[in-house]
């Protein structure tokens, strides 16, 4: 507690009449008011206890030439209210500012926790990195996280294995790969993927972290999508999909009675069901 101030500027009745700075009936102020007004005073910035933490669970192996959307958590156990409008911000120490962007700090009151995020790009250069998250109030560091240490490694490859039911030879040049992270964000997409005899290759996959689970979706026009989950490793990874079924002639990604009607109106599509 910094001070107790029982005096009230203007209260013209009990129980605080004797504490009012203004005399009854608007006849001016008491002499005490003028004496206090004339005192030299410090700026009204009382000391506020800043305390909290920055926690994260981030990958330890990222790949080169990639973009990431990652998250961390702030816990405020001090006295201040953290917000961007009051001069609080989080910065990354150890990463070039041109390669990262931290979102504006949300309002975090004492005894509250809040998730925040940042965007980060890796260059063509591989090697180890050490990064810290620092909470600033204006230009003064307030809270510092533990160190996030990670490796930037070469881009992994992805081999696709699939079949086109009921084809004997599964070949085409209009396959599409989509990769989603655990937040269901589309992080990578490759179109016009060539598959020959049931196999295709993506020589380099960007925007993934190694040893993290991703949902990989394989698409082809007129066929129902198929998907698997993959944890990427260094080098070549294999994505073995189930056979793709030609049950989506209208191309909306699902199979329903309207697809049968569409098929009957476009009899040339019956070739999809021939070996």
pLDDT exceeds cutoff 60 at 1: no
Residue 142: both structure tokens together: 């307030």
Query: What pairing do the DSSP bridges indicate for beta strands 148-153 and 61-63?
Result: parallel
The predicted model scores a pTM of 0.79
pLDDT exceeds cutoff 90 at 215: yes
In this predicted structure, what is the pLDDT of residue 263? 60
Task: For residues 242-255, give the mean pLDDT.
Answer: 78
In this predicted structure, what is the pLDDT of residue 158? 98
Give the total residue count for the chain: 275
Residue 154 CA neighbour count, 13 Å, CB half: 7
Q: Which of 26-40, 56-70, 111-125, 186-200 has the lowest mean pLDDT?
A: 26-40
Q: Which of 13-22, 126-135, 173-182 has the lowest mean pLDDT?
A: 13-22
Residue 274: both structure tokens together: 């021939």
Neighbours of 97 (CB within 10 A): 9
Span 126-158, pLDDT tens digits: 999 999 999 999 999 999 999 999 999 999 999
Span 58-69, pLDDT tens digits: 999 999 999 999
Task: For residues 152-180, give the mean pLDDT.
Answer: 95
Dihedral, CA of residue 197, residue 203, residue 204 and residue 210, to nearest 10: 70
Report the SS3 class of residue 236.
strand
pLDDT exceeds cutoff 80 at 6: no
In this predicted structure, what is the pLDDT of residue 117? 96
Distance between CA atoms of 74 and 262, rounded to whole angstroms?
53
Residue 269: both structure tokens together: 């599509």
pLDDT exceeds cutoff 70 at 266: no
- Partners of 85 in beta bridges: none
Neighbours of 57 (CB within 10 A): 9
pLDDT exceeds cutoff 70 at 89: yes
pLDDT exceeds cutoff 60 at 219: yes
Task: For residues 190-203, give the mean pLDDT.
Answer: 96
pLDDT exceeds cutoff 80 at 92: yes
Residue 181: both structure tokens together: 């992270």
Residue 25: pLDDT band (50, 70, 90) is confident
Which secondary structure element, helix H or strand E, spans residue 262, and what is its range? helix 257-265
Structural domains of the chain, with CATH:
52-153 (2.60.40.10), 157-273 (2.60.40.4130)
Phi, psi of 26 (to 5 degrees): 70, 30
Which secondary structure element, helix H or strand E, spans residue 172, and what is its range? strand 172-180
In this predicted structure, what is the pLDDT of residue 254? 72
pLDDT exceeds cutoff 70 at 233: yes
Task: For residues 214-233, give the mean pLDDT.
Answer: 96
Distance between CA atoms of 44 and 7, rounded to whole angstroms?
18
In this predicted structure, what is the pLDDT of residue 258? 64
**Alpha carbon distances (Å) from 44 to 4, 36, 47, 140, 230:** 15, 15, 10, 19, 57
In this predicted structure, what is the pLDDT of residue 236? 97
What does pLDDT average to over the chain? 88
């Amino acid at each position: 507690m910094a001070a107790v101030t029982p005096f009230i500027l203007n209260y013209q009745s009990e129980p605080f009449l004797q504490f009012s700075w203004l005399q009854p009936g608007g006849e001016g102020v008491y002499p005490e008011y003028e004496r206090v007004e004339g005192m030299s005073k410090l700026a009204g910035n009382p000391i506020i206890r800043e305390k909290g933490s920055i926690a994260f669970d981030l990958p330890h192996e990222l790949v080169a030439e990639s973009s990431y959307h990652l998250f961390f958590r702030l816990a405020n156990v001090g006295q201040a209210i953290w917000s961007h409008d009051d001069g609080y911000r989080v910065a990354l120490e150890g990463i070039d500012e041109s390669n990262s962007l931290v979102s504006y700090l949300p309002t975090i009151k004492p005894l509250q926790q809040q998730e925040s995020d940042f965007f980060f790009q890796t260059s063509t250069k591989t090697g180890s990195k050490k990064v810290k998250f620092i909470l600033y109030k204006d230009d003064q560091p307030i809270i510092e996280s533990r160190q996030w240490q990670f490796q930037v490694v070469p881009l992994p490859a992805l081999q696709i294995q699939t079949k086109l039911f009921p084809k004997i030879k599964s070949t085409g040049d209009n396959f599409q790969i989509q990769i989603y992270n655990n937040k269901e964000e589309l992080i990578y997409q490759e179109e016009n993927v060539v598959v020959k005899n049931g196999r295709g290759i993506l020589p380099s996959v960007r925007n993934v972290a190694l040893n993290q689970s991703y949902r990989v979706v394989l698409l082809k026009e007129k066929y129902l999508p198929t998907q698997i989950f993959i944890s990427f490793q260094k080098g070549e990874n294999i994505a073995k999909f189930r056979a793709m079924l030609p049950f989506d002639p209208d191309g909306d990604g699902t199979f329903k009675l309207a697809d049968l009607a569409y098929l009957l109106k476009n009899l040339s599509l019956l070739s999809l069901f021939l070996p």
